[in-house]
Structure formats: C-alpha cells, structure tokens
Amino acid sequence: MKRHLLILAFLTAISQVAFTQGDIDDEQKIFQRNESTYSFLLNSNGWGVNYQYGKMIDAFNKKIYNIDIVGIRHPKEIKTSNPYYPNLKRFVFGKENNFYSLRLGLGKQKRLYSKLDKGGIEIRYFYSAGPTIGILKPIYYEIVYNYSGYYQIKTEKFNTSIHSIFDIYERASFFKGFDEISVIPGIYSKVGASFEFSKKDEKVNAIEIGAVFEVFPKKIKIMATKDNDFYFASLFVSYRFGKIINARLKDKNKKRGKDNERGLKDLHR
C-alpha cells in the first residue's frame, strides 16, 4: 500500500510538470528565499514528522538543516487480537519494543526547474546526512493467567518462552515502560526530489519523494526474533508546507518603521 502511494505521488507530480499550464505569474518575486517548513512523512517502514530550515546560498542552492522524528516498524509486524477477546485493543504478537529515531541533518537543496507560471511546479533535489538517536521503549501486555478456573490479569513484557496469542488479553498503556527507555546513537543519510506547487510566492507547498538509509552499532531488538537488523533502508513520500523568510525585506521594513517613527518625532517638535 505504501509503495503504491509513493508511485502515485511521483506520477502526479510528473504529470503536473508536463501538462499544467497556468496564468502568467505577475506577483512580485521574493529573491531572498530562506525557508522555514514542516512535513509529514510516510515511510515504507513507518511514519514521522520533520522540520527544515533552508538558508539561501545563491539563486539555485540552499543549505538545509533538518530535524526528523520517525517511528520505525519491523517488516514482520502484524496487528492482531486474542480470538477470545476480539473487541479489545489490538497488538503485535511478539513485539518487544517500540523504536523511534530522532535525526539531526545538514545538507543541500538544488533547484533544477523553476516555476514559469502560477500553475507550474518547481523541481528540486536534496540530500542530507547526520547523527541519529535511536530510542527503544519496551512494550507491555495485559497477560491472562488461569489458576484452576480463577483468572488474573498481570501487566508484563512479552516472553517468547511462555506467552502465546491466547495468553495476551490486550496491549497495556502506551506510557508503561517510559522509565526503561534506552538510547542508541547512529548515523543516517537521505536523498530525494521535491515538487513545489504553491501559487503564492511567500508560501511553500511541496510533495517530496526519496530514500533514507540509517545504521546503528548493534541490532535493534524490535521483535522477539533473531532477524532484527542494525540498519534500516526505506522509501518515503511527504507533504511539506511552510513559508519563505525574506531577510532583506524584514530589514527594509524595520528600517522603514524607524524612518516613520523618526518622521513623527520631527513633526511633534
């Protein structure tokens, strides 16, 4: 399903570039185009959010600073429920930890094609890399115990040697296990393409597609199996939105405000 979304987003952006025709853009352009934007990420192995600041180098290039917070899933994660209690909270049988990644990146964005009209699309490519902080949070389950017809529910971590799907009543509170969080440092790299389609020069609206590779010094134990990995490779599609920060325009407005204030003082003399 996620692969289909990635392909659909790419084809949509390409088709708009090829066939869209709009009105001639007579809006006054902002030339000092620093950007402050956010995005929602849909990865082939999870989900996340991003903040990015783009600092203009020249007419075609920006230095970009990224912060990503993403949740990463194991390929074998499948949500299910106890057949005896199908209406309770679903859970992933055999999952030991939730895994999150906090990424801090520095990179570059280059403009390949500019918008010629209001209905056009600007195409960019980008790349970034940097340190990542992996966060492991243990998962707890509500386990049913049968003591000769007397049933008791206990909150426990998954134990592959004693627990079956029939023993799990439901998953426990998400906040259970926060005092047992562990941190694993790593590194990541990201590359992708951006299709910016905003009709207002001071706004940013874009669809992005790309790939991320992330590596850690040891295997990340998400599932209670032997096939956990120390690296993660994924494709992503994201929707980016934000605004243009025109430093020169701010300076001009600030100076104009000071000049107006000085003029009013002169009138009162």
Mean pLDDT computed over 206-212: 97
| Residue 187 maps to a domain | yes
CATH number of the domain residue 90 falls in: 2.40.160.20
| Residue 166 maps to a domain | no
| Residue 226 maps to a domain | yes
| Residue 163 maps to a domain | no
Question: What pLDDT shows up at residue 116?
Answer: 74
- Model confidence at 2, in pLDDT bands (50, 70, 90)? low
pLDDT digits (tens, 9 = 90+) for 163-203: 888 889 899 999 999 999 999 999 999 999 999 998 888 89
* Gap between the Cα atoms of 46 and 223, Å rounded: 15
Q: Is it the case that residue 248 has pLDDT exceeding 70? A: no
| Residue 225 maps to a domain | yes
pTM score: 0.79
Higher pLDDT, 32 or 37: 37
Give pairs for 201-205: CB < 8 Å, separation 24+. 201/25, 201/27, 201/28, 201/29, 201/30, 201/244, 202/30, 202/243, 202/244, 202/246, 203/241, 203/242, 203/243, 203/244, 204/35, 204/37, 204/240, 204/241, 204/242, 204/243, 204/244, 205/239, 205/240, 205/241
- Model confidence at 17, in pLDDT bands (50, 70, 90)? very low
Question: What pLDDT shows up at residue 82?
Answer: 87
HSE (CB half, 13 Å, CA atoms) of 105?
A: 29
Name the 3-class secondary structure at 260.
helix
Mean pLDDT computed over 76-87: 87
Count of the separate structural domains present in the chain: 1
Question: What pLDDT shows up at residue 1?
Answer: 55
**For residue 15, what are the domain limits?**
2-138+176-268
| Residue 66 maps to a domain | yes
| Residue 158 maps to a domain | no
pLDDT digits (tens, 9 = 90+) for 48-58: 999 999 999 98
Question: What pLDDT shows up at residue 24?
Answer: 43
pLDDT digits (tens, 9 = 90+) for 128-171: 999 999 999 999 999 999 888 888 999 999 988 888 888 898 99
Q: Please give the DSSP secondary-structure letter assigned to residue 119.
A: T
Higher pLDDT, 206 or 120: 206
Question: What pLDDT shows up at residue 259?
Answer: 53
| Residue 11 maps to a domain | yes
